[in-house]
Every structure is written in C-alpha cells, then in structure tokens.
C-alpha cells in the first residue's frame, strides 16, 4: 500500500476514534446523535481551518499583515514596506490534508445522518 494512503487512513481512523472518545466523555454514552454532533464539530473545524489557510496562501491577508507589522514596529527601527515578509510566505502549512479529512469526516457524518432519518 502507498505510504501516503496509509498515512491518510491512519489519520482518518484517529479522527474517528477521537469522535468516539469525545462522545463517551461528553455524552457519557455513544449514540448516533452524539456521533453526528461531534463529527459535525470536528469536520467543520477542519474545513474552516483549511479554508483559512487557503485564503492566507492566496495572499489575501498580505497587505493587512504587512501594514500592521509596519505600524507596530514604528519608532523601533526604520523599515520599508517591501522589507516586511508576507504572511503567505511565513505560513507554510498545507491545507489539502485538512480539507481531505474534513470532507471525509463530513461524508461519514452525512451517512450517519441518512441512517438516522431513514
């Protein structure tokens, strides 16, 4: 089996295990509703983090972060706007694994939701 596929399956298994453990801790038992609630929160967190990283990588926040850096460093040293590093260059986390695991957990949540309603 491919190493990347194994890594994705292990991470997906870990997130599913975390959903079960959090369900037992928070609800004191395991039910389909508790699985749906917890998996929604985890998948929404993963998807929103992936979308935030995507917007950072596109350079959307570069001018804002550079402006804040320039304003708050004023008086300490003379800096040019071009010398300040861009936020998209500093954040190097890949958003694709977060997007994949958020979509997969969301898919499992939707399957559980269909089982619950039908």
Predicted TM-score (pTM) of the model is 0.87
In a domain, 70, yes or no: no
Total domain count, the chain: 1
DSSP state of 95: S
Q: Tell me the C-alpha to C-alpha distance, in Å, between residue 105 and each of 9, 84, 108.
A: 12, 38, 5
**Residue 64 to residue 86: CA distance in whole angstroms:** 10
Q: What is the residue-level pLDDT of the chain in tens, covering all 118 positions?
A: 788 899 999 999 999 999 999 999 999 888 999 999 999 999 999 999 999 999 999 999 999 998 888 888 776 677 777 888 899 999 999 999 999 999 999 999 999 999 999 9
pLDDT at 90: 92
pLDDT at 76: 65
Could you tell me the residue range of the domain that residue 105 belongs to?
A: 3-59+92-117
**Residue 15 to residue 22: CA distance in whole angstroms:** 10
DSSP state of 93: -
pLDDT at 42: 96
């Amino acid at each position: 089996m491919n190493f990347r596929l194994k890594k994705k399956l292990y991470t997906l298994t870990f997130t599913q295990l975390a959903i079960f453990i959090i369900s037992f801790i928070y609800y004191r038992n395991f039910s389909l509703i508790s699985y749906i609630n917890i998996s929604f929160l985890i998948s929404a967190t993963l998807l929103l983090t992936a979308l935030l990283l995507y917007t950072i990588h596109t350079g959307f926040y570069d001018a804002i972060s550079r402006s804040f850096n320039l304003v708050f460093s004023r008086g300490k040293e003379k800096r040019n706007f071009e010398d300040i590093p861009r936020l998209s260059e500093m954040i190097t986390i890949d958003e694709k694994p977060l997007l994949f695991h958020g979509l997969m957990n969301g898919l499992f949540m939707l399957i559980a939701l269909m089982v619950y309603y039908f």
